[in-house]
Structure formats: structure tokens, C-alpha cells
Amino acid sequence: MGVDVFLSHSHVDKVFADAICHRLEAADIRCWVAPRDIRPGDDWAESIIDAMDQAKMLVLIFSASANNSPQVRREVERAVNKGLMVLPFRIENVPLSKSLEYFISTQHWLDAITGDLEQHLDELCHCVAMLLERLPQAAPASVAASVAAPAIAIAIAIAPDALAAIERALAQELGPIASHLVRRAMLAAPSRKQLVAALAQEIDDAAERQRFLTRCHGAG
């Protein structure tokens, strides 16, 4: 089953995340939220990336804790890279950190700082439903499946030790999601050079991207 909304939040704000999830799903808007939707034994980072691959938009529950959370920043960054719409739902009046400001337009906030929370949740639900209606329909699953067919042949074309070195270099910049990103990029990158170039585009910070490229070239 697909996902309409990925809920990004700090663990401190779980009560708000649960309330938003309940309200949206009561309106037949399918949500993905951690830790509820991460099965026991599943890799946390990989589960997040897989959920974003299915999601149509991200709702950011913005608070002081979320503002300072590296995990939330990475989720917002990944969502923007994937072209997902990001809708911030502000529950605390704190200045936006520079790292989040880089990715978020301040013109599209929903504020729930004061007033009745139930009313704010209704407004959020209405806004999400309206935005989802405007999005184009996703391609059929059969089309996505056909793209994955060459994966095994491509994997064989790149030596295992080379793949491991590339993954280590990427992990130094992006953390544990590196292994998932490498496996996914291999679907469209038939050579080591093309794989490195594709993975470099996953890194938004120019200095971090250059470090990744330098490590890969040094290992090559």
C-alpha cells in the first residue's frame, strides 16, 4: 500500500505526531510515521528512505526539538531532493535554523502555536487533502518494476571492493542511509564513474560533496 504523507518529527513531539496521524488517517489520508511503521528488525534508515520513495508529501512537525534534530534535517533534505512537497506545521514559536531554512519556504507555514489544537488539526487535514488532489498521479507499479530488472547485471559490473569503498565514503557524509542509496543508484549506473557521479548528487552541501568525490577518486 502506498503512502500519502510522511510525518517528520522529533521523538519529543510524538504526542503531536500521533494526533496528526490519527486525524489524517481518519480522513483516509495514509500516513507513515516512526516508530509505528518500522517493523521489528528492520533497518531504521532504510525504512525511512523506502517510505519517502512511496510518499507524496512530507508534513514537518516543527518545534524547538525538531529544529535542532539532525534526523529531522536529513528527512527534510531527502524529501526536497526527491521533489516531495514539504508542509511545516509549527507547534512552537522558534526561529528556523539555517540548515532547515535552506530547504523550507517560510511562505507555506501552518501555525498551531496558539488557539485550539483541534481547529489547527482540521485546517492541516483540509490543506493536506487539497494539496494531494493537485498532485499528478504516480506511474503504475508495473513501470517501476520494469526499471529494477537490470539491477543484478549492473551490480556484477562493479567490483565488490569498489562498491564497499564508495559506500564507506558516502556513509562518512550521510550516515547509515548510504548503503540503501548505493543499492538504489546501482539500478541506473552501469559503471563506477557513473555511480559516484549519481551518489554525489545526493549530497547537497558542496564541501561534503567534494569530500565524497575526493575519497572516491583516491580509492579508485
Note the pLDDT tens digit of each residue in 24-79.
Answer: 999 999 999 999 999 888 888 888 889 998 999 999 999 999 999 988 998 998 88
Could you read off the pLDDT of 105-134 as tens digits, one per residue? 655 788 899 889 999 999 999 999 998 988
d(CA 109, CA 56): 18
Locate 208 and state its grid cell.
561534503
> Residue 151 pLDDT > 90, yes or no?
no
Do 208 and 167 lie in one domain? The reply is yes
The mean per-residue pLDDT over the stretch 95-104 comes to 83
Q: Residue 21's domain is classified under what CATH number?
A: 3.40.50.10140
- Measuring CA to CA, which residue among 155, 183, 151, 191 is closest to residue 167? 183
Whether residues 12 and 100 fall in one domain: yes
Question: Of 122, 138, 154, at which residue does a domain stop?
Answer: 138
**Same domain flag for 118 and 179:** no
Tell which of 92, 114, 138 closes a domain.
138
175 Ramachandran zone, left/alpha/beta (phi>0; psi -120 to 50): left
Looking at the fold, whether 73 and 52 belong to one and the same domain comes out as yes
Please tell me whether residues 102 and 56 are part of one structural domain.
yes
Regarding whether 106 and 161 lie in a shared domain, the answer is no
Please give the residue range of the domain that contains residue 168.
142-219
Going by pLDDT thresholds of 50, 70 and 90, the confidence category of residue 146 is: very low
pLDDT for the residue 176: 65
**Per-chain mean pLDDT for the chain:** 83
Number of structural domains found in the chain? 2
pLDDT in tens, 170-214: 888 877 677 767 777 776 666 888 889 888 888 877 888 899 999
Residues 183 and 83 in one domain: no
Residues 172 and 127 grouped into a single domain:
no
Q: What's residue 147's pLDDT?
A: 41
Residues 94 and 185 in one domain: no
